[in-house]
Amino acid sequence: MRFGFHISIAGGFSKVVERATARGCDTIQFFSRNPRGWKYSPLNETEVKAFRSSIQSSTLSPVFLHMPYLPNVASFKSKFYKRSIQSIAADLQRAEQLGAQYLIIHIGHRMESSEDEAIEAVSQGIDQAFEEVKNDITLLLENTAGQGTEIGYTFDQIKRILEKVNDHQRMGVCLDTAHSFEAGYDLSNKDGIERTLEAFDQSIGLRRLHLLHLNDSKTPLGSRKDRHWHIGEGYIGLEGFRSLVNHPLLRVLPGIMETPRKDTVEDLKNMEVIRSLIEL
C-alpha cells in the first residue's frame, strides 16, 4: 500500500512536495484553494508548471485533489446548489491543470429533502459538472459518517448515486475508514472487515474503490459522529488497521491519512505506526 497525507498548500504549491517528502509520503492529497471559502483566483501558470515539474521529479503517485468543504449538491433547496455545481466543475479543471488524476468530493447534506430527492440532486449536479468539463479526471465520492443530514453513509446510497450519474466511467469511491466505522461498518476486526468489503462489493463493486482514507475513529461504532483520530489510538485500533492494510483486496490501493495534526510530529508518528503494521 502506498501511504500519504493530506498536504497543506499554505505558502503556495511549491511547498507541497517538500512537505510530502518530509513526511515520507508515497502519495498525496491536497486542496487547490481555500477549503472554507467560495472565492478563489485562477491558477498561476508559472506556479502550476513548477508544481507539475516537482511532482514528476518525485515518486509521488497517484495525486488526489480534494474539493473544499462548502459545496453541497445533496439538496435542490440549498441556495448554494448551482454554485456548488460550478465549484465541482472548477475543481475538475484545476485537477487537470495540476496533474492530479482524481478529485474527491464530500457527498453533502440533504437538509429538509428526502433521501430520494438528495440522491437525485447529487447525480444531477454531477451530470451538469461533467457536461461542463469533459476531461479524464475521476470523481471520487467519499462516504460519510451520517452526521446530521449527511447523505452517502450507506453503501446503498452511494450505489444509487453512481447508478444515476450518466457518465459512469468518470466515477469512483473513496472509502474513509473513520466514516465507515462511525456509520456502523465494523472495521476493528477481520470478520467485520470481511463483512464490510462483501457489502461494498455487492452494492458498489470493489472495482469502483480507488482510495482509502486511513483514519481512526474517536467515537464508537455507529456513533454517526465524524471524529478522526490517530492510527491505532481510536475505536478501530491497531488490529483493525493491521487487517486493513494487509488485506489482499486493499493493499494494492493508496491510503491517505487525515489524522489530527499541529505540526509534522503527529504525521511522522502516524506514518511510523501505519508502516509498522505491514506484513511482508
At 212-265, the pLDDT tens digits run: 999 999 999 999 999 999 999 999 999 999 999 999 999 999 999 999 999 899
pLDDT, tens digit, for every residue of 24-39?
A: 999 999 999 999 999 9
Q: Average pLDDT over the chain, rounded to whole?
A: 97
Rounded mean pLDDT of 167-187? 97
The count of structural domains within the chain is 1
pLDDT greater than 90 at residue 188: yes
Closest CA to 26 of 249, 253, 263: 253
pLDDT greater than 90 at residue 192: yes
Rounded mean pLDDT of 40-68? 97
Concatenated DSSP letters for 156-214?
HHHHHHHHH-S-GGGEEEEEEHHHHHHTT---SSHHHHHHHHHHHHHHT-GGGEEEEE-
- Three-class HEC string of 100-116: CCEEEEECCECCCCCHH
* Amino acid, res. 274: I
How far apart, in whole angstroms, are the C-alpha atoms of residue 221 and residue 245? Answer: 20
Residue 79, pLDDT score: 94
pLDDT greater than 90 at residue 13: yes
Beta strand 102-106 pairing with 254-257? unpaired
Residue 204, pLDDT score: 98
Q: Which stretches within the chain are classed as H helix?
A: 16-22, 45-56, 81-98, 115-132, 155-164, 177-182, 190-203, 237-246, 264-276
pLDDT, tens digit, for every residue of 194-219?
A: 999 999 999 999 999 999 999 999 99
How far apart, in whole angstroms, are the C-alpha atoms of residue 246 and residue 253? Answer: 11
User: The domain that contains 119 carries what CATH number?
Assistant: 3.20.20.150
Set of cell numbers at residue 183: 456509520
Q: For residue 117, how many other CB atoms are within 10 A of its CB?
A: 17
Residue 199, pLDDT score: 98
What percent of the chain shows pLDDT beyond 90? 99
Q: How confident is the model at residue 280 (pLDDT cuts 50, 70, 90)?
A: confident
How far apart, in whole angstroms, are the C-alpha atoms of residue 219 and residue 199? Answer: 22
Residue span of the structural domain in which 197 resides:
2-276
Residue 256, pLDDT score: 98
Query: With a threshold of 0.85, does the pTM exceed it?
Result: yes
